[in-house]
A and B are shown apart, each in its own frame.
Chain A
Amino acid sequence: MTLDAVLVASAALFCVGLYGALSQQVVVMVMMGLELMLNGVILAVAGLWWFLAPAPDGQVLLLVVIAAMTVEMAMGFAVATLLHRSRESDMTDTATDLSG
């Protein structure tokens, strides 16, 4: 178990999530992609913390990432509910009002 291995695994998780966030049409599936990206970030931060500087600061940063994940989830579900209520759809392609 090395830092390189941890970072390669976290990069793989991040990029799988990136693919999902970019390609999926259903809002909930886009959120799943974002969650996977944050999953990779959590693993990378934990690896960097353990292998470079195992001080409490890194653990606090992990808590902040987990809090960001919670905020993303709550706001994502709220927007999905609003979209479903007003448009009767949960697809990103029906919410392109702000696109150029």
Chain B
Amino acid sequence: MSVVLGGFFWFLAVVAVAAGIAVFRVDSMARATYALALSFVSVGVMLLLFNLEYIGVITILMMVMEMAIMAVFMIMFMGMNPALMPMSMVHSKRSSMILAGGGFVVLAGGALLVPWPARRGGPAADLTQSLGEAIMGSKMLVMLTVSPVLFATLVAALVLASPRGRYDRFGDDLRISPPRGPEQKDGRS
């Protein structure tokens, strides 16, 4: 059984990493979105292998929805179906590749060389229930901190993304337009 699980884990790991590489190799943003969703689904299934049913399922659901939203934003920004637009827009490709490769060597080397301690304790019989009890008990402060952060993010994102409205006028007679931001290099303001 463990051999089958191990083989399935490696299959998922290869799919997750290959899909991650495909995100930056495919020639359209739409395909990149699908590849990223596949990578997240693979990791979500890996979480299910660790008996993390709740977190695995919310990872899969959240990321699939997130990728759908991402596709909508791409179409919105580019004004066309991104699947029809081949592209390669990168900078510092060589140095990025060297940094990423070096980072992998360091991280993987650390993972293989560190003498990891033995497992302490065992998982609870019902992991979802134990998580709920932790959130509502000893770890409530964590959730109390995350909640206002999420609310502040909502407000900040709305403020940033909203266009300036009719109340956003300046001057004594409210006839002065709002500032348009720093001047561009090509002369546009």
Once the chains bind, are A28 and B73 in contact (CB under 8 Å)? yes
Separation of A19 and B13 alpha carbons in the complex (Å): 18
Residues of chain B contacted by A47 (CB below 8 angstroms): 50
Task: Report the interface size for chain B: residues with CB under 8 A from the other chain.
Answer: 86
Which residue in A16, A64, A84, A94 is a CB contact (below 8 Å) of B77? A84
Interface residues of B in 106-124 (CB under 8 A from A): 107-108, 111-112, 116-117, 119-124
Main secondary structure of the interface of B (DSSP, over half): helix
A interface, CB within 8 angstroms of B: 1, 3-9, 11-20, 22-26, 28-29, 31-33, 35-36, 39, 42-43, 46-47, 49-57, 59-60, 62-64, 66-67, 70-71, 73-75, 77-82, 84-87, 90-91, 93-94, 97
Q: Told that A12-B13, A75-B153 touch, could you supply 17 new A-B pairs with CB distance under 8 A?
A: A5-B13, A7-B111, A9-B17, A15-B100, A19-B97, A26-B89, A29-B23, A29-B32, A54-B121, A55-B121, A56-B124, A56-B131, A56-B133, A57-B139, A59-B127, A71-B150, A73-B66
B interface, CB within 8 angstroms of A: 2, 5-6, 9-10, 13, 16-17, 20-21, 23-24, 29, 32-33, 36, 39-40, 43, 46-47, 49-52, 54-55, 58-59, 62, 66, 69-70, 73-74, 77-78, 89-93, 95-97, 99-101, 103-104, 107-108, 111-112, 116-117, 119-124, 127, 130-131, 133-135, 139, 142-143, 146, 149-150, 153-154, 156-158, 160-161, 163, 180-182, 184
